[in-house]
Structure 1
Amino acid sequence: MLITILPLIVLSALIGGATYFQAGKLIEAETKSVEQRILDAKQQEIRHYISLALNSIERYYLEEPGGREVAKQEAKRILNNMAFGPDGYFFVYSMDGTNLVHPKLAHLIGKRLWDLQYPESDLGIRALMEAARRGGGFQEYIWHKPSTGLVEKKLSYGVLLPKWGWMLGTGLYIDDIAKEVEEIRTDITVSVRETLAVIFAITSAAIIVAGTVIAAVRLSEQRFADSKLKELTNRIFEVQEQERKRVSTELHDSISQLLVSVRYGVEMIHSEANRGSDLRGYAEKSLGILDDAISEVRRISRDLRPSVLDDMGLASALISLGKEFETQSAIQVDVSAQKCHDRLSDSAKTALYRLVQEALTNVARHSGATKVDINLVVGNDTLRLTIEDNGQGLPTPLPRGGGLGIRNMRERMETHNGFLQLSNMAKGGARILVTMPLDQASHRAA
C-alpha cells in the first residue's frame, strides 16, 4: 500500500509546492503589472488636467490684459475655481517654495513650504520644483488628503511658468492603488488556495480509491488463500481418515483374524496338555498374551477408525466413545445424542467424532473433572453439540489460537462451515459449543 500511495502523496506535494511557488511569482508579477497600469493611467489623467489648467490661463499668461498683476490675480481666481473629484485641485508655488494657490487648504497660502517634509517622504515641494525645472515631471510624496484629513501618498505633476516665476501643479492621491493591488493579491491568493484544496481533495480521493482497491484485492487474495487452505486441510483430514480406515480394516480383517486363529490353536494345545502341568502352564500364559494382543489390536483399530461410526452413525459412535472413555478414565460420561441420518456428510460426522475424541482427551489430561456431559441436538437447520465438564475450566485469558488440539478442532469445524466456541461456565468447568449447518436437501427429501 505504501508503494502505491507514497508516490501519490509525493507527487501531489510536488505539484502543490510548484503551484504555490509559481502562484507567488504570478502574484508579484500581476500586482506589479496592475500597479503600473493604474499608475500610467493616473499619470495620463494628471497630464490631461495640467493641459486643461494651462489652456484656462493661457490668455492671461501670454497677453497679461490689464497688466501682469491683474493677469496673475485673474489666473489665481480661475485655478481656485477649477476642481475635479473630492480631492482634485490645482496649486501654485513661487520659485522659493511659497504657496500662492491652494483651493483645499487655504491656510497654506503665503507660507513657504520649501523644506516641508512628512515622515518617510521626500521634500515634496522641492522635489516637484526640480522636476518642473527639468521641463515638467512627476513626483511621489506624502501630503494631506482633504476628504479624510489623513496624510496619504500623492502623485503630482509640476510645470514651470518662468515668465511669472510660478510652478503650476496638480496631482492624484494613489492610496487607492495599494487597495486595488491588495484586492487583486487577495483574489489570486484565494484562487491559489482553492487550487491547492482541489489538489488535496483529488489526492485524498486517489488515496482512498487506491487504498480501497488494494484492500479489496488483498481481502480477495486472503479469502482465496483461506479457501485453498481449507480445501487443503479438508483434503489432509480426508486422506488421514482414509489411511486410518485402511489400517483399521487391515488390523481387524487380517492381523486380528490371524491372532484369533492362533488362539484357537493354542486352546487345542491347552486342552490336550492335561498330562504335563508345565506344558499346560505355558499354554495358559500364551493364551493370556494372545488375549491382550487381540484386545490391543482391536483398540488400535477402533481408535484409528471406529467401525460403529460407519455402521451405526454418529449418535451411536458418540455413545460408544463415551462408554469406552468412562471405562478407561473412571470419569463419568453422560451422552445424549439425536440421530442426524443423512443430513451430514461422512467427513462432517468424522470431524465431529474427532472433535469429541480430542475434547475427552483434554478433559482427562488437564481438567481434573469427574463428570462430562455430551449433548447432540439436531434441529431443522443446524446441529448443536455441547461438551461440558465440572473441572477447573479453561485458563484465562485463553492463549491466542489455543493449543494444537484446539487449532485442529477449529480447522475441522471451519472446513464444514461450523463454528466452535470455548468458554468457562459460571458454576465451574469448561464448555465447548459447536454449531454446524445441516443438509436442507436431504431434510426436504426425508
Structure 2
Amino acid sequence: MKSRTTLLLTLVPTAFTLGAILLAVYFYSIELSNQQHRLLKEALLASKMAELRGYVKLARSALPAQEQAEGVADLLSRLDFGTDGYFFLYDDKGRNLMHPRQPDLVGQDLMEMRDPYGGTPIKDLLAASNQGGGFVYYYWNKPSERRTVRKLGYVEPVSPYRWMLGTGLYVDDIEQSIRAFDAQARANIHGGLLVLLAVSVLCILLISGTGLALNLRNQHRATEALRQLARRVVRSQEDERARVARDLHDGIGQILVSIKWLLETAMATQGRTTSPAAVLPGKLGSPQSFLQRALERLGQALLEIHHISNDLRPAALQDLGLAAALRSMVLAIGEEGGPRVRFSAHGAGGELTPQQGTALFRICQEALTNARRHAAAQRIDVVLLSASRRVILSVRDDGKGFNPQRAHAGGDGGSGLSHMRERMLMLGGTLSIDSTAAGTTVTAVLEPRGAA
C-alpha cells in the first residue's frame, strides 16, 4: 500500500505537469498559427496588389505607340496571365471597350450594372480611376468556374484617350492559398502534439517503471531489514534469558544450595544437643552458628537478586529517572574498583518515554562494560545533556580503541554494538561510535517526548 501511494504521489503531479505543458503548447501553437495567418494574409494581399500594379504598368508601357483604339484593344486582349488573369478597358462613360473573357460585353454601357449583392463595380472602378488609380473590391463572374466571386481589381486612367485600364485577381484564389497554409499549420500542430503526447506517455511509463522498481527494491530491503531486526531481537531476548538463567544458576542457585545445607546441618545438630555449650571445640559448631551463616548467605542471595533485578529493570530508572539511574550505576562501578568513572548531567529537556530511558540506560551500561572489559580504560566520562529538542548521552573512555566495523562483522563484541544501534533505530534516534588509539566515544541522540 505504501509503495502504491508513493507511486501515485509521483505519477499524479508528473501527469498533471505534462498535461499542463501540452495544453500550454497547444494554445500557444494556435495563437502562433493565428498570428501567422494574419501575417500571411497581409503579405499575400500586399504581394498581389504589387503584382496587379506591375501588370497595369506593363500594359500601359505598350500603349503610347498605338494611335487607334482598336489597335490598343487588340493588343491588350492578347496580354493575359494565368487561368483567370486578363485586362479590361472602359471609356470614361462606363462603356466596355475590351473584355477578352466576355466579348459579349464589348460596346455595352455598364455604368449602372449591379452585381448579385447590389454593388456597382464599374462605377466604383471609374471612381478610383478618376482619382488617379487605385484598388477596388467588387464581385465579378469568374470565367473558369462560371460563378460570381469577390475580386480585387486595380485600375489606372489612360491618357489622352480618357480610358480606364485595369486588371484583377479573384480573392478566392488568395483565400485558397491561406486555407492551404492553415491546413498545413494545423497538421503541423497536431503532429507536434502527438509527438509530445507520445513523449509524455513514454516519460510517465519510464517514471512509473523506475518508481515501481525502486519501491519494490526498497520494500524488499525494508522487509529484509525487518527480518534481520526480528532475528536480532529474538537472539537478544534469548541471550538475555540465558544470562539471567546463568546468573540464577551460578549465583542464587549456589547460595540457596548452601543455605539448604546449613539449615539441614543446624537441624541435625539440634537433634544431638539442645545446648550450644555442649558442642565440643573443633566440632561442627552449634545450631545457632549454622543459622547465623544461613542468614548471611540469605543476605547474599537477596543482594544477588537485587543485582539481577537491577540489570533487568533498574528501580532508580523507574522511580527517579534516567540521570539518577546513571549516577547510581556509576557509583556502583566506582565501589567495585577499576577505572575512574565520572558522571555529569546538564539541562532539563523534554520528558523521555520509558522505552527511551531504558534504551539510553542500556547503551550506557553496554558502553561502560566494553570500556572496562575490552578497552583497558583508566578513566571514563559519562555525560547526559538534555535540551528542548533532543537528549544526548556521551560515554568517553581513554582505552586502546577498536574498529567498530570489524568488531561488528567479526562478532567480537559485535552483538552489543548491534543491540545499541537497533535500540536507537527502533526509537528513531542515532548512534555514533568514534574510536581511535586514544580512546572511544559512544554518542546516542534521541528526541524526547516533550520536544517542541
The two structures have a TM-score, normalised by structure 2, of 0.48
The two structures have a TM-score, normalised by structure 1, of 0.49
